[in-house]
Chains A and B, each alone.
Chain A
Amino acid sequence: MTDLLAARTQMAVSLGFHIVFAEIGIAMPLMMVLAEWRWQRTGERAYLDLAQRWAKGTAVLFAVGAVSGTVLSFELGLLWPAFMRQAGPLIGIPFSLEGFAFFLEAIFLGIYLYGWERVGPRVHLGAGLVVAASGAASAVFVVLVNAWMNTPTGFTLDAAGAFASIDPVAAMRSPAAFQQALHMLLAAYAATGMAVAGVHALMLLRGAAHDFHRHALTVALLVGAPAAVLQPLSGDVSARVVATTQPVKLAALEGQWATMRGAPLRIGGWPDAAREETRWALEIPHGLSLLAFHDPSAEVKGLRAVPVTDRPPVAVVHLAFQAMVALGSALALIALCVVVIAVRGRPIAGQKPLLRALVLVAPFGFVATEAGWIVTEVGRQPWVVQGVMRTSSAVTPMPGLVVPMVVFTLLYLGLGAIVVALIASLVRETARVRV
C-alpha cells in the first residue's frame, strides 16, 4: 500500500467513523428536546423518561463524536499539510465558526445532561435547544469547507501555483455550499430519526412497554420521516449542481464514458475502466440528461473527455452512488407511508407491517450517508481541491503511513463495537420500563 493510499484510507476511516456520531449529535438533541417539551406540556412521565434515556445515549455518542472530531482536526495537518498550508487561511474561517458552535454545543450539553436538578425547566429545555441548533450549525460550517473543496472559489493562483487574492467569504459561498449543507442536514435528521424509530418499532413488536415506545416512535418519526421524504428532492438539486460544476464526478456517478446528448440513466451495472464502458446496467433512455439538466436531450460530458489520470475510481463511485440512491429511496418510501398514515390520523404504533418495515430500514440512513460521503469524496479524486490541487501533492512526506492507518482503523473498529454494545444495553433496559 502506498503512503498516499494509506493516508486516504485513514482519512476515510476517520471521517466515516465520525460522520455517524456527528449525525446523531445533530438530530438526537432535537428529539430529546421534543420529548422534554411534550413532558412539560402534558405532564406524562413517559416523555420525561424518554428524554432522560435518550440523553444517556446521546452523552455516550456525543463524547465519541467529540474525540473523533478532534482527531480529524489534527489529521488535516498530520496527513495533508500541503493542502492546509495553502487552504488554511481560506477555509479556516468556517472552521473557526464551527469551533464556537461546537463550544456552545458542549457547554449546553453539559448543562442539559447534568443540570436536571440544578436549573429551572425552561432553562433546561432552552439548553437542549441550543445543543440542537449549534449541532446543526457545526455541520453546516464543516460542510461549507467540503463544498469549497468540490467547487473552489474565492482565490486566484499566482505564477508559482500558490493561492493569491484570497476571499474567505466568497469561499464560504461556493456553488456547492447550499445544496451540500442542505443534503447533509436532511441526512442527519433522516438517518438518526429513522434509525431510532426502527429501534423503538422493534421494541413495540416485541411487546415492550407500550406508552414509552409509542411516544418514542412518534417523536423519532416526527424528526426522521419529513427529512427522509424531502431528501430525494435535495438529492436532485445536488445532482444538478454536480452536473454543472463537477461534470467528471457526475460521469463517474453514472458510469457515463462517452460525451453524448440524451444520455441514459443507468441502474446497476459495473463500470469497467479497462474497456471504458459500463456493462450490465439497466438503461433508461434520456434519463440522465433529464435528471441532471431537466432536458431530455442535454449533453452530458463523459469520462473519456478527460485524461485517465484525471478520472476518479469509477466503479467505487458508481456503486456507492447506486447504493445511496437505492437506500435513500427505500427510506423515503417508508417515510412517505408514515406521513400518509399520520395525516389520516391513524396510530402508527398499531400498524404491524409498517413497524416491521421500519425495523428493516433502520440502518439504511447511516449506510446511505456513508455511501454518499464516498460519492462526494472519492468522486472528487484525484483532486483534493477540484481542478486545483491533487491529493497526491497534498499528502505528508512522512513515510510509513500504513502504521497510523492500521492503528486508527483498529481503534475505531474497537470503539464502534463497544459503543454498539453499550447502546444495545441501554435499549435493553427500556424493555423493563413500566409506563
Chain B
Amino acid sequence: MSVSGVGLPEIVAAVMVLALNAYALTGGADFGGGVWDLLARGPGREAQRSLIAEQIAPIWEANHVWLILVVVVLFTAFPAVFAALGTVLHIPLTLMLLGIVARGSSFVFRSYGKHDDASQQRWGRVFAVASVVTPVLLGTIVGAIASGAAGAAAARLADAAGDAAPSYASVYVTPWLAPFPLVLGALALSMFAFLAAVYLAAREPALRDAFRRRALWAAGAMFVAASGALGVARMTTPHVASPLVHGSALALQLTIGATALGAIWAIYARHWRLARVAAAAQVSLILWGWVLVQTPYVLPPTLTIRDAAAPRVTLELLLGALAAGAMLLLPALWYLFRTFAAERRVR
C-alpha cells in the first residue's frame, strides 16, 4: 500500500478516479433518481416522479459522459487492464450496458413519446427497473476488481496453455457472481439512492419530507451494505479486508464514519446545503477508500499502476488533452448546473 514516488502513471490514475468520482456523484445520483421513481409511494407519487424527471432531464446525458471518460482514460493509459476487464467481466459489463441503453432510451421515450397513461407507465417502469439494475452491476464490477478475483481470473487465462485451460465458470462467472461483488452492488445502489434523495430533498419544498425520510432510509441501507461488505470481505477475501482495519485505511474509515454521521445529522436537522456536501463527501470517501486499499494495483493482484501504464508519450499527451479539455469542460459544466440549479419555483 506504500506509495513510492508519484509519477505520470499515478497522476493519470488519480485523474481517472476523479472522473469516476464525478460520475458517482452526478450520473450515480441520476440512477438513484430512477430508484425513487420505482419506489414512489403514496398520494404524492406522481409529483415525486415528475420532480425526478424534471431534475434529471437537462443533465443526465452530460453526467453520463463521465463514465465514457473513465473508459477512455482506462484504455488509453492502462490498456492491459481494459483488455483484461473486457475479457473476464464480459458478462456483467454487457448486462450493465443493456441497463444503460434501457435506462437512457426509456427516459427519452417517456419524455417525448405518447402522453397516454399506458405508454407513460410502460417506459416509466423500464426506466425505473433499469435504474436499479445498472448500479448493482456497476458495484458488482467494482467488487470483482477490488476482491482481486477479476485480476486473478485474467492471469489464469493468460497463463493457461492448451489443454489446461481454466473452466468457463472460473474465468467468466465466479469472479463477479460472488458474495463480495454482489454486496458491493447493493452498496453502490444504496449510495446512489442516498445521493439522489438528499439532492431531491433540497430541491422541492413540497416534497421535502418525503425525500428526507427516503434519504434517512438510504443512509441506513448504506450502513448495512457497507458493514456487510466488510464482513464478507473478512470471511472470503482476507487480503482485501485486513488492510481496511490498519493504519491510514482505519483513519479513513473513521473519517467516513464521521462524515456519515454528519450527513445524517444534517438531513435530520434539515440543513440541506450541508447535507448535500456531506453526502457527496461520504460517497467520495468510500470510493477513495477502495482506491487507497488497492494502490499500487489498478487490477489486483497482478497489474500495478506502473506495470500497466502506457508509454510515457501517451501519458503526457493524455494529460495535456485532459487539462485542455477540463478548461473547456469545467466552466461549461458549472454553467449547466447553475442554469438548472435554481430552486424549483412553487406553482
* Assembled-state Cα–Cα distance A100/B323 (Å): 11
Counting CB contacts under 8 A, is A111 at the interface?
Answer: yes
Q: Of residues 156 to 174 in A, which have CB atoms within 8 Å of B's CB atoms? A: 166-169
Residues of B108-139 contacting chain A, CB below 8 A? 108-109, 111-114
In the complex, are the beta carbons of B109 and A93 less than 8 A apart? Answer: no
Collect the chain A residues with CB atoms within 8 Å of residue B325's CB.
96-97, 99-100, 103
User: Which positions 82-103 of chain A face chain B at CB distance < 8 Å?
Assistant: 82, 84-90, 92-93, 95-100, 102-103
Closest partner residue, chain A, to B332 (CB atom) = A107
Residue in chain A with minimal CB distance to B327: A100
Measured in the bound complex, the distance between the Cα atoms of B21 and A330 in whole Å is 50
Return chain B residues, CB-CB under 8 Å to A73. Answer: 68, 71-72
Tell me which residues across on chain B come within 8 A of A425, comparing CB atoms: 113-114
> In the complex the two chains form, is A399's CB within 8 Å of B168's CB?
yes
Contact present for A415 and B105 (CB under 8 Å):
yes
Give CA–CA (A79, B82) in the complex, Å. 11
A70–B310 CA distance with the chains assembled, in angstroms: 23
Q: Mark A42-69 against chain B: 1 for CB-CB distance below 8 A, else 0.
A: 0000000000000010011011101111
- Interface band, chain B: 35 or more
Query: Are A67 and B90 in contact (CB-based, < 8 A)?
Result: no
- With a CB–CB cut-off of 8 A, which chain A residues contact B75? 76-77, 84, 88, 92, 95
Chain A residue with the shortest CB-CB distance to B64: A66
Minimum CB–CB distance for B116 against chain A, Å: 12
Are B61 and A99 touching (Cβ within 8 A)? Answer: no
Question: Is there contact, CB below 8 Å, between A119 and B101?
Answer: no
Tell me which residues across on chain A come within 8 A of B58, comparing CB atoms: 110-111, 113-115
- Chain B positions 302-331 with a Cβ under 8 Å from a chain A Cβ: 310-311, 313-314, 317-318, 321-322, 324-325, 328-329
Fill in one digit per residue for A20-34: 1 if any B CB lies within 8 Å of its CB, else 0: 000000000000000
Are B333 and A407 in contact (CB-based, < 8 A)? no
Complex interface: chain B residues within 8 A of A119 (CB): 339
- In the complex, how many angstroms separate the beta carbon of A318 from the nearest chain B beta carbon? 33
- Residue from the list A96, A114, A399 in contact with B321, Cβ < 8 A: A96
Contacts of A411 in B (CB 8 A): 98, 101
Main secondary structure of the interface of A (DSSP, over half): helix
For residue A167, which residues in chain B have a CB less than 8 angstroms away from its CB?
A: 313
Give the Cβ gap from B150 to chain A, nearest Cβ, in Å: 13
Least CB separation from B157: chain A residue: A397
> Given the known A-B contacts A166-B311, A168-B313, A422-B109, are A93 and B321 also in contact in the complex, defined by CB atoms under 8 Å?
yes
* A102 contact from B68, B97, B109, B332, Cβ within 8 A: B68
Judge whether B251 is part of the interface by a CB distance below 8 angstroms: no
A349 at interface by CB-CB < 8 Å? no
Report the nearest A residue to B73, measured CB to CB. A96
Q: A63-B61, A422-B113 are in contact. Are A86 and B107 (CB under 8 A)?
A: no
The answer to whether B313 and A88 have CB atoms under 8 Å apart is no
Cα–Cα distance between A255 and B79 once the two chains are bound (Å): 38
Contact indicator per residue, chain B 89-107, by CB within 8 Å of chain A (1) or not (0)? 0100110011011011101
Measured between C-beta atoms, what is the minimum distance from B285 to chain A in Å?
25
Q: Give the CA-CA distance A67 to B103 in the complex, in Å.
A: 9
A341 to B234, CA, bound (A): 77
Q: Does chain B have a CB within 8 A of A260?
A: no
Please name the residue on chain B nearest to A92 by beta carbon: B76
Closest to B160 in A: A397
Q: Look across to chain A and name the residue whose beta carbon is closest to the beta carbon of B86.
A: A77
Given A78-B93, A81-B86, A66 and B104 contact (CB-CB distance below 8 Å): yes
Chain A residues with CB under 8 Å of B59's CB are 110
Q: A121 near B: Cβ within 8 Å?
A: no
Find out whether the CB atom of B86 lies under 8 angstroms from the CB atom of A99: no
A67 cross-chain contacts in B, Cβ below 8 A: 100-101, 103-105
Task: Pick the residue among A81, A103, A106, A118 that contacts B84 (CB under 8 A).
Answer: A81
Contacts A74-B93, A92-B310, A109-B61 known; 19 new A-B pairs at CB < 8 A: A56-B112, A60-B112, A70-B68, A78-B90, A81-B87, A84-B75, A88-B75, A89-B76, A89-B77, A95-B72, A96-B76, A98-B72, A103-B62, A107-B333, A166-B311, A397-B157, A398-B172, A418-B109, A425-B114
Residues of B that sit less than 8 Å from A by CB: 57-59, 61-62, 64-65, 67-69, 71-73, 75-77, 79-80, 82-87, 90, 93-94, 97-98, 100-101, 103-105, 107-109, 111-114, 157, 168, 172, 310-311, 313-314, 317-318, 321-322, 324-325, 328-329, 332-333, 335-336, 339-340
A-B residue pairs, 6 tightest by C-beta: A92-B76, A77-B86, A88-B79, A89-B310, A100-B325, A81-B83
Report A's interface with B, CB cutoff 8 A: 56, 59-60, 62-64, 66-71, 73-74, 76-79, 81-82, 84-90, 92-93, 95-100, 102-104, 106-111, 113-115, 118-119, 166-169, 396-399, 404, 407, 411, 415, 418, 422, 425-426
